[in-house]
Amino acid sequence: MTMDVLTMGTGFFSFGTFLLIHLIAFRRMAPEHLLRSLLTCVIAMMGLPILLMGIFYIFKLVDAALQAWVCAASLALVIQGLLCFVYVLCVFGPYETSVRMRLVREIAQEGSKGISLQDLLGRYNSETIVNVRLQRLLGSGDIVEKDGRYRVGHNRNFFFVFDVIAGVLKKWINK
Amino acid sequence: MGYVLFSLLLFCVSVMTHILFCRVTAKSGLQAKAFILITFVFLGVYAFGVWAIQQAGVLPLQSLWGLPFKITAGIIFFLLAPVYLCFYVLTQLTSPSKKILLTISQRGELSRADILASVQEEDFIMTRLNDLCASGCVTQINGRYTLTSEGQKIAAILNFMQFTLGRNVGG
């Protein structure tokens, strides 16, 4: 087995383990615990590729220098991190939070007879959107509530970081 | 690590090519398909580059730069494409969570009614519903919305995801 295949395999295996834990532990998890638990799970699983590579190094699964093992562990970590990022933002995120996906499901429930706008808004509306999101954001600590007023909990959350990066990208694209 | 550096360099070039394309194109809306195409072209360039480096023997196997992480570097490049697309989509779309956070951040503190008003002002449901109609997933006949065959496929995928994830309907 080459170091390249071992690195890739470790990255994918670690992600597979994350996915398995995620599928078991996140079933029926309340929305308010979702963001924080997801972040904790991703960070906790980051240690797995390093641990696996350490074990492989001890058992000398591949004959390579120490620097190659260090690089392999780092790259396996990068692959696992990227896979987690892509899964959370492109698969789980849209399922859990996308307005479009929810609309598709609401329309699908009515089958071929369809649904009127009034009925659709009766089931899913701005009120629902705000309720679910406030629950999630309060649970993650991104916002805090005191006497019925909401404030930002911490300014270094993912939404703001993503907004800054997207802002820079937008400037470059629209120049 | 030379291969990793090479793949990262090509990824940066593919992002720059996409940005340049977005700036010159007359088409409006998301240019995600263009980026996917650019990514595959540059993945081809990467594969050719790896072959050329091997043939030329410019990276000695014993050195740090010559460590043969060819497939790993290619996969990193491949996985960076959706990461970039996530940020690119954010340049054109505002999620309700982001809207809520930014509104609270801009105004200091807000009541629930203020937050609701800001979300209503953005009209997330109608804009998304119109997008679904425009993309051919939903059709509106006699004031009633129904799924097209494309929309039914998405609904089937969502049902499968609900079965797998074991979670309630999102949104």
Q: For residue B112, what are the contacts with CB-CB under 8 A and spacing of at least 6?
A: A130, A134, A148, A150
pLDDT of A1 reads: 60
Using a CB–CB cutoff of 8 Å, tell me whether A84 touches chain B: no
Share of chain A above pLDDT 90, in %: 45
- Per the CB < 8 Å rule, is A116 touching B119? no
Using a CB–CB cutoff of 8 Å, tell me whether B132 touches chain A: yes
Residue of B nearest to A67 (CA): B64
pLDDT of A140 reads: 84
Mean pLDDT across B14-39: 90
pLDDT beyond 80 at B117: yes
- What's chain B's average pLDDT? 90
Q: Give chain A positions within 8 Å (CB) of B82.
A: 86, 89-90
Using a CB–CB cutoff of 8 Å, tell me whether B109 touches chain A: yes
**How far is the C-alpha of A164 from the C-alpha of B48, rounded, in Å?**
35
pLDDT of A54 reads: 92
Q: Give chain B positions within 8 Å (CB) of A130.
A: 96, 100, 112, 115-116, 119
Q: A75 near A29, Cβ under 8 Å?
A: no
Q: Which of A82, A91, A169 sits opposite B79 (nearest CB)?
A: A82
Q: For residue B68, what are the contacts with CB-CB under 8 A and spacing of at least 6?
A: A2, A3, A4, B3, B61
pLDDT in tens, A66-113: 888 999 999 999 999 999 999 999 888 888 889 999 999 999 998 888
pLDDT of B18 reads: 95
Share of chain B above pLDDT 90, in %: 56
Using a CB–CB cutoff of 8 Å, tell me whether A71 touches chain B: yes
Mean pLDDT across B116-136: 90
Collapse the DSSP code of B144 into the 3-class scheme (helix H, G, I; strand E, B; otherwise coil) and give the result.
Answer: strand
Question: Mind telling me how many Å the CA of A46 is from chain B's nearest CA?
Answer: 16
pLDDT band at B68 (very low <50, low <70, confident <90, very high): confident
- Per the CB < 8 Å rule, is B170 touching A136? no
Q: Which of A107, A130, A159 sits opposite B116 (nearest CB)?
A: A130
- Per the CB < 8 Å rule, is A124 touching B125? yes
Given the structure tokens 């190094």, which residue do they identify?
A57
Q: The complex's ipTM?
A: 0.85
Q: A118 near A111, Cβ under 8 Å?
A: no
Using a CB–CB cutoff of 8 Å, tell me whether B29 touches chain A: no
pLDDT in tens, B79-108: 999 999 999 988 888 889 989 998 998 888
Which of B111, B108, B15, B153 has the alpha carbon at shortest distance from A172?
B15
pLDDT beyond 80 at A155: no
**pTM to 2 decimal places:** 0.86
Rounded (to 5) percent helix, strand, coil in chain B: 70, 5, 25
Token output for A44: 């906790």
Using a CB–CB cutoff of 8 Å, tell me whether A152 touches chain B: yes
Using a CB–CB cutoff of 8 Å, tell me whether B79 touches chain A: yes
